[in-house]
Amino acid sequence: MAVRAVSLAMGTFFFWALHASLQVLINIGRFPAIVGTASLALGILTGLAIGTILPLRQLRDINRKGESRTPLSTLLIIIGVAFVVPSALLLASNFSVDVLRLTLIFLSPGPAIALALQAFLFRRWEKKNGKWILAATWSAKYYVQPEDEQ
């Protein structure tokens, strides 16, 4: 089954944006302003970096080969950043609830921003080339189909 990559990214973006805003609203007031703001800013910068680097690499592969598959090493790096680093922080702090809340503030905006950037970059590429980027949903594979074929 294939879905337009832009639709998939935007649908998932709305879920992550809601999650991020709830986490920030619930947890940001529990810390000094500089700590909460710094954690949120780091999460935003992480989302901008991942949301720019990964889709541009995928678009480069699509231009060259007509399809792109996210390599296992890239997925492992993203999973490592998302799970191992917060787990290490929790273990280092003896499972402090405050560190958990800071970690949630840090991790919340990243996926939403990365997905919004991916949708924007993919849509810009689709308009420029007159083709759709389709996502094979379970295999992290993107491929191209002309707009007139449905």
Higher pLDDT, 85 or 19: 19
Length of the chain: 150
Cβ(134)–Cβ(69) under 8 Å? no
Residue 150 domain-assigned? no
Whether 107 is covered by a domain: the verdict is yes
24 assigned to some structural domain: yes
> pLDDT grade, residue 96 (50/70/90)?
low
pLDDT at residue number 39: 77
Which of the four pLDDT bands, split at 50, 70 and 90, describes residue 149? low
Query: Hey, what are 72's tokens?
Result: 């296992």
**pLDDT the model gives residue 45:** 87
The answer to whether residue 74 sits within a structural domain is yes
Q: Quick one: average pLDDT of 50-71?
A: 85
Q: Is residue 46 part of a domain?
A: yes
Q: Does residue 149 lie within any of the structural domains?
A: no
The model's pTM is 0.77
Domain count across the chain: 1
Single out the residue of 91, 8, 82, 90 nearest to residue 46, CA to CA.
82
Q: Is residue 122 part of a domain?
A: yes
Q: Tell me the residue range of the domain where 103 lies.
A: 2-144
